[in-house]
Each structure stands twice: as C-alpha cells, then as structure tokens.
C-alpha cells in the first residue's frame, strides 16, 4: 500500500553522482513552475517480483478478473467521438466496450454485446443514429433504451423498462475518456486525484491528437510498459543519445496512484568520461548528420536555454504567447507521468501519451500505442486516425526520430520475454531509485491482484 512507502529526504538519499534534476532547474532562464519543484522519492524496499507475472496464464487471468474488470482505464479522446452517434470500440483482454456520444452530447459506455443472443453490437468505430445489432436486428437508442425488437410479438418476456443496455461508468479528464467495467467502482476523482492537479498548467484538453500509432508487440504488456518507465536503460540501449540526455540526472517521484520520471535533455550524461562540445550535444539532440551546420550557442548562454528559445520561437506560431510562460525545462525535458495501470501522459509541450495493454486474451503479446498531442490555432483540427504498424514495420516509419528510439526499446522486448520464460531466477530485480516507478507499478499490482 502506498501509505507504507517510506518518504525519503531528497537532499539526503543515495543517488547517482552528478547534478540533481533540481540543481539543473536552478540554471533555468525562466521561472520554474511549482509542479517541477515537487519531489517525492520513496523507499519501497528491494524485494523482487515474481517472474510468473510476465509468463503465466494464471497471472494474466487474475489480471483480467481483478484489474482490467475493476480499474479505470483510458479508452479514447473526446475528439475521437465529437458528434452525436459517434462511437468507438474499446477492447481489453477478451472484452469489448462501446463508447458512444448521445444526442445531448454526453459520453456513454455499454458492453459491446447484444442483449438478445450476445453478438458484438459494433465492430467498427463510426457514426449511427441507433445501436442496431447486425444478427437479428434488436436496436437501442444512443442512450441505451430499447428501440426495436423485430417480431416483437415473439418476445413476451422482453420488457422495455428492464431491457436497456447496461451503463458502464465513464469519466472525462483533459480530453481523455476513461471507463471502468466495474459498475460499483470507486469514483474516478479519487483515482486521478494525485495526477490531475499536476497537469492543470499543461491543459492537455486544449491539444489535439496529431498522431496515433499502434503495434502488436511480442511480449507481455508489462515488459513493453516497463521499457518506458526508467532512464536506467539508456546507457546500454540508447548509447547514441547520452551526449544530449542526463539519464542519471533523472528524478523519480512516487505518489499513491501516479508516478513520474523526469529526464533532462540538452545536458550530457554524467556517465560519459568526457564532456561533449555544445555542437556535439545539439547535433545529437537535433538528430543532425555529422557534417550539417549546428546552431551556435551564444557565449555565456546555457545550451538548455538556447534550445528552449528555439522551441519557443517554433511553437509561438501555433501556441501563442503562452510559450513565454513555459520554462526551459518544459521545452527540453522528458516529463513522463504514469497513471496506474497503463496510461502515460507526458507533461508540458512534448505531447506524448503511451498506452500498453494485453493483446486480446494473449498474455505473451500486447498492444503498444503512442499518441502525440499538439497545440493548434483556431478551429480544432480533426484527430489523427490510428495507424497500425505491421509486424515488420518499424516505429521510425511512423514517428521519425522518436520512433528510432522506440525501435531500440522494441528490440529488447521479445528477448526479455524469452529470457523470463527461461530464467532460473524466481523474481525480477529492480534498483531502489532509478527503477522505482517500475517497482511502484508492481506494488500497485500486488495491491490490486493480491499476489
Ligand atoms: S444477437 Fe443481436 S439481435 Fe440477435
Ligand atoms: Fe528507451
């Protein structure tokens, strides 16, 4: 339980050599917002977590029963279903749910199952004036009220009052629609109370979905998710970015139902045994070839402030003068939050959101998604449709430089699955601080699943 996590004194705890993230923030050319000054390191012990969490059918089935059927989970963006009759199919494990916009503009959710003989009601996202089952034609209104029963005379047992589609709890936050399959669930406000205040400044609801990429990955959903929950792997997995990323300067914060890892950019890794030049650092940061011209950092200026200024100027066109309210760190750093169990919005202008979930009922594959959110001027642009990558398609084919980094992460994933199927160890070993977000996720799993 989170209450049992021991608070640590951020100024007096074991951590990597080199500057702390807070010391880096002291060099910011703009006022640093309170949210970045928060620190919440926790001592959650050093215990191992069972390998069987990633490998067994038994644990997967427990996750389905005790987690996925009970927990608040992100489905789609409000902008994905802007008009009455718009509907979105959300699948989790072996279940499917229909998220619907009704005529009053409210969002409803129903199990995607006909009350006659059970057929899935909608296979595809789309728009309809009613919810009609393709099998025998039973139909419901967008509000879930029974509308039509072909051969009505033949169903004396069907009663209009009690034959509505069951309503699934829905919540909306920052343009995201969440559902909870458990009709007796705890309120969403409690679920998001740690995270929501921290995002007030960044207003993700004011951004639009500029990209959405999904791919089936050959590993348990937690293996994929955990690859994005710490910067400890950067040294071995992404050595090319060490010249522009303060991997071991990362700050990890743990609250009850959310956690974050902030990793500074435009600063080199303290692990390097040399100091890269500004040219070298910016070339890496901007993914420029070795012979390309690199913008020159003016004498006496911090490279982080310089890069932030470039981003500010680029963003001003679409984001307006609010770019001046954002400090350097908000332009340069990875501010990667996690809301348990699988929703990962980034703070500030980075606009990245990850989601990881089991691929249907298969515990050895998963669906990994990356959504990009961007500011806009004037009318809200149409949201990007999801692009599904084929097995052999790289993330870089859809997401450029960011995708190149994902491809390196993805390369590890099936090998981690294979290794965990093989290992003679009973548990996975996690570091105390740098991997504490992964440790937090596992403590939460224990809390929900009971083992
Ligand atoms: S199963 Fe839906 S109408 Fe028969
Ligand atoms: Fe990575």
Examine the pLDDT at 4 and tell me if it is beyond 80: no
Q: What is the mean pLDDT of residues 314-335?
A: 94
CA–CA separation, 372 and 209 (whole Å): 6
**293 and 392 share a domain?**
yes
**95 and 244 share a domain?**
no
Looking at the structure of the chain, the number of domains it has is: 2
* CATH code of residue 173: 2.102.10.10
Ligand 1 proximity of 117 Cβ (cutoff 6 Å): yes
Residue 119 Cα: closest atom of ligand 1: 1
Ligand 1 proximity of 57 Cβ (cutoff 6 Å): no
**396 and 350 share a domain?**
yes
In a domain, 168, yes or no: yes
In a domain, 36, yes or no: yes
Ligand 1, pocket-test mutation among 98, 112, 115, 119, most atoms within 8 A of CB? 119
pLDDT digits (tens, 9 = 90+) for 225-241: 999 999 999 999 999 99
Give the percent of the chain with pLDDT over 90: 94
CA–CA separation, 100 and 123 (whole Å): 13
Whether 209 contacts 384, CB under 8 Å: yes
pLDDT digits (tens, 9 = 90+) for 266-317: 999 999 999 999 999 999 988 898 889 999 999 999 999 999 999 999 999 8
In a domain, 93, yes or no: yes
The DSSP letter of residue 124 is: S
pLDDT digits (tens, 9 = 90+) for 351-393: 999 999 999 999 999 999 999 999 998 999 999 999 999 999 9
CA–CA separation, 409 and 39 (whole Å): 27
**256 and 172 share a domain?**
no
In a domain, 64, yes or no: no
Which residues share a beta bridge with 172?
Answer: 177
In a domain, 252, yes or no: yes
**270 and 399 share a domain?**
yes
b/e for 6-43, b at 16 or more Cβ within 10 A?
Answer: eebebeeeebbebbbbbebbeebebebbebbeebbbbe
Residue at which a domain ends, from 163, 189, 215: 189
For ligand 1, the distance from its centroid to the CA atom of residue 131, given in whole angstroms, is 11
Residue of the CA atom closest to atom 4 of ligand 1: 136
Residue with the two structure tokens 């963003």: 315
**Mean pLDDT, the chain, as a whole number?**
96
Q: pTM higher than 0.95 for the full model? A: yes
Ligand 1 proximity of 430 Cβ (cutoff 6 Å): no
**20 and 143 share a domain?**
no
**98 and 51 share a domain?**
no
CA–CA separation, 337 and 339 (whole Å): 7
pLDDT digits (tens, 9 = 90+) for 59-92: 999 999 999 999 999 999 999 999 999 999 999 9
**43 and 162 share a domain?**
no
In the chain, DSSP finds a helix count (H) and a strand count (E) of 13, 22
Domain of residue 102 covers 73-189
In a domain, 199, yes or no: no
* CATH code of residue 436: 3.90.380
Tokens of 366: 């998963």
Residue 121 Cα: closest atom of ligand 1: 2
In a domain, 238, yes or no: yes
**375 and 434 share a domain?**
yes
In a domain, 352, yes or no: yes
For ligand 2, the distance from its centroid to the CA atom of residue 116, given in whole angstroms, is 47
**395 and 264 share a domain?**
yes
């Amino acid at each position: 339980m989170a209450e049992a996590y021991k608070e640590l004194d951020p100024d007096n705890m074991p951590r990597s050599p080199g500057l702390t993230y807070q010391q880096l923030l002291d060099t910011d050319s703009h006022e640093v917002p309170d949210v970045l000054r928060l620190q919440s390191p926790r001592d959650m012990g050093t215990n191992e977590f069972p390998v069987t969490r990633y490998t067994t059918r038994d644990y997967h089935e427990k996750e389905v029963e005790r987690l996925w059927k009970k927990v608040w989970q992100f489905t789609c963006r409000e902008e994905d279903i802007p008009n009455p009759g718009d509907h979105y199919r959300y699948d989790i494990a072996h279940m499917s749910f229909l998220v619907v916009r009704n005529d009053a503009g409210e969002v409803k959710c129903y199990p995607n199952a006909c009350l006659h003989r059970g057929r899935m009601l909608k296979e595809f996202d789309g728009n309809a004036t009613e919810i009609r089952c393709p099998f025998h034609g039973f139909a419901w209104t967008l509000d879930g009220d029974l509308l039509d029963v072909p051969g009505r005379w033949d169903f004396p047992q069907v009663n209009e009052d009690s034959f509505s589609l069951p309503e699934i709890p829905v919540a909306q936050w920052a343009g995201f629609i969440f559902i909870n399959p458990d009709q007796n669930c705890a309120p969403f406000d409690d679920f998001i109370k740690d995270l929501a205040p921290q995002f007030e400044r960044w207003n993700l609801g004011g951004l639009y979905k500029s990209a959405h990429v999904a791919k089936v990955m050959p590993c348990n959903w937690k293996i994929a998710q955990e690859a994005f929950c710490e910067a400890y792997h950067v040294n071995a997995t992404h050595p090319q970015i060490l010249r522009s990323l303060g991997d071991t300067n990362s700050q990890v914060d743990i609250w009850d139902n959310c956690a974050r890892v902030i990793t500074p950019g435009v600063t080199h890794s303290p692990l390097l045994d040399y100091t890269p030049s500004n040219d070298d650092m910016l070339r890496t940061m901007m993914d420029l070839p070795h012979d390309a011209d690199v913008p020159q950092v003016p004498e006496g200026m911090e490279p982080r402030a310089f890069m932030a200024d470039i981003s500010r100027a680029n963003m001003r066109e679409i984001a307006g003068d609010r770019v001046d309210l954002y400090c350097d760190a908000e332009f340069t750093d990875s501010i990667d939050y996690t809301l348990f169990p699988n929703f990962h919005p980034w703070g500030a202008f980075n606009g990245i959101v990850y989601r990881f979930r089991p691929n249907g009922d298969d515990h050895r594959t998963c669906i990994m998604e990356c959504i990009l959110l961007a500011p806009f001027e004037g009318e809200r642009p149409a949201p990007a449709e999801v692009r599904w990558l084929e097995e052999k398609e790289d993330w870089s084919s859809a997401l450029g430089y960011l995708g190149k980094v994902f491809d390196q992460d993805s390369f590890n994933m099936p090998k981690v699955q294979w290794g965990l199927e093989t290992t003679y160890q009973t548990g996975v070993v996690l570091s105390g601080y740098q991997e504490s977000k992964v440790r937090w996720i596992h403590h939460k799993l224990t809390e929900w699943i009971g083992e």
